[in-house]
């Protein structure tokens, strides 16, 4: 299939189903780690938070269950729903082996070989260490099974056609662990691992092309989800466009509390406020410091994600929908 047609089709995609937003102060249904748990289980519990598994598989909604999934993820490819990853044999991953789990995280493939869509961020998780993947598996296996059925994805034409996902993966997915940079400090390398492999900040805060390919020349300079017109800010050291005016302590404080250097706090309904509350604040102080070191070392880039063409087009489309009859807009 000609790749030009693929690009044009993506740019002209229709509107998406309404996205369910988090309610302010909503709690996630994650049980506390039992007292006296071993170090591997505790490590896995922290990774479940810091790798943002919690936001999709234990979402902050009244009817959600721990590991039951259900979070809706609108994208330009369609709307995806996080699956049940509890040890339930029928609806979850209760029949999986640890090798199956590692293959999913490293290769983005199910036990039967099916390719996963990139709403599951295996592009980042492929870089995680063996020890971290093992700890996460130990944690998942220790949780109670829930029978919540996984909801089928709503993939837009033509993306569900045979070969389309394989084409995207051939262009975008590179399997393998991160190599340490011997010229950088331990904190820099640890920060890079957390930013790219665990918390996958670069996947959101780097712009993408119409094909969904990360534009590495604007690494961490701000990105967006055109399906929701959400904009993720510039995290480079640019003093105006980025966070170059922030100190390391400012970055750590924000990741712990969602409070910015000027004293304001991210809106509770914003995705980053949720990420801070449910994920980033669960990093150890040493890891938060490492993230701050790595972000502070990024070259300044004046890229403005708000001015990105795909976002502007999406916002115009949403505005047109808002002007229409609500019942008509939902059809």
Give DSSP secondary structure letters for 236-277.
SS-TTTSSTT--HHHHHHHHHH-B-TTS-B--TTSHHHHHHH
Least confident of 11-15, 81-85, 256-260: 11-15
Average pLDDT value for residue range 76-82: 90
Residue 239's pLDDT band, with cuts at 50, 70 and 90, is very high
Peptide bond before 158: cis, by omega within 30 degrees of 0?
yes
Architecture of the domain whose range is 37-148+160-176:
Orthogonal Bundle (1.10)
Torsion angles phi and psi, residue 282, rounded to 5: -95, 0
Alpha helices (H) in 58-129, listed in sequence order:
98-107, 122-125
**Greater pLDDT, 29 or 14:** 29
Tell me the average pLDDT across 193-200.
98
CA proximity to 291, closest of 279, 304, 303: 279
CA dihedral angle for residue 57, residue 62, residue 63, residue 69, rounded to 10 degrees:
-10
Is residue 17 pLDDT above 60, yes or no?
no
Per-residue pLDDT, 309: 63
- What integer pLDDT is reported at residue 2 of this predicted model? 35
**pLDDT at 4 exceeding the cut of 60:** no
pLDDT of 19-60, one tens digit each?
Answer: 456 565 678 999 999 999 999 999 999 999 999 999 999 998
């Amino acid at each position: 299939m000609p790749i030009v047609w693929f690009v044009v089709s993506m740019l002209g995609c229709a509107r998406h189903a309404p996205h369910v937003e988090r309610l302010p102060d909503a709690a996630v249904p994650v049980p506390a780690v039992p007292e006296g748990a071993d170090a591997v289980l505790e490590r896995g519990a922290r990774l479940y938070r810091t790798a943002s598994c919690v936001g999709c598989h234990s979402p902050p909604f009244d009817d959600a269950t721990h590991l039951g999934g259900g979070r809706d993820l609108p994208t330009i490819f369609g709307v995806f729903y996080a699956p049940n990853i509890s040890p339930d044999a029928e609806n979850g991953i209760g029949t999986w082996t640890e090798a199956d789990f590692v293959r999913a995280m490293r290769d983005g493939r199910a036990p039967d070989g099916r390719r996963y869509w990139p709403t599951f961020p295996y592009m980042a998780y492929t870089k995680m260490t063996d020890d971290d993947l093992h700890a996460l598996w130990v944690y998942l296996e220790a949780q109670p099974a829930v029978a919540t059925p996984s909801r089928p994805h709503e993939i837009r034409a033509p993306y569900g056609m045979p070969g389309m996902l394989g084409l995207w993966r051939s262009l975008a997915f590179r399997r393998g662990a991160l190599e340490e940079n011997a010229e950088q400090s331990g904190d820099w390398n640890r920060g890079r691992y957390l930013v790219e492999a665990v918390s996958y900040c670069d996947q959101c805060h780097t712009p993408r092309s119409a094909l969904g390919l990360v534009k590495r020349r604007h690494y961490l300079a701000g990105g967006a989800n055109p399906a929701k017109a959400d904009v993720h800010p510039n995290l480079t050291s640019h003093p105006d466009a980025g966070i170059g005016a922030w100190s390391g302590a400012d970055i750590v404080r924000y990741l712990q509390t969602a409070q910015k250097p000027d004293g304001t706090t991210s809106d509770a309904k914003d995705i980053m406020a949720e990420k801070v509350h449910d994920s980033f604040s669960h990093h150890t102080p040493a890891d938060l410091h490492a993230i701050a070191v790595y972000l502070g070392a990024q070259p300044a880039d004046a890229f403005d994600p708000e001015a990105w063409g795909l976002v502007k087009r999406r916002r115009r489309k949403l505005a047109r929908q808002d002007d229409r009859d609500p019942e008509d807009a939902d059809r």
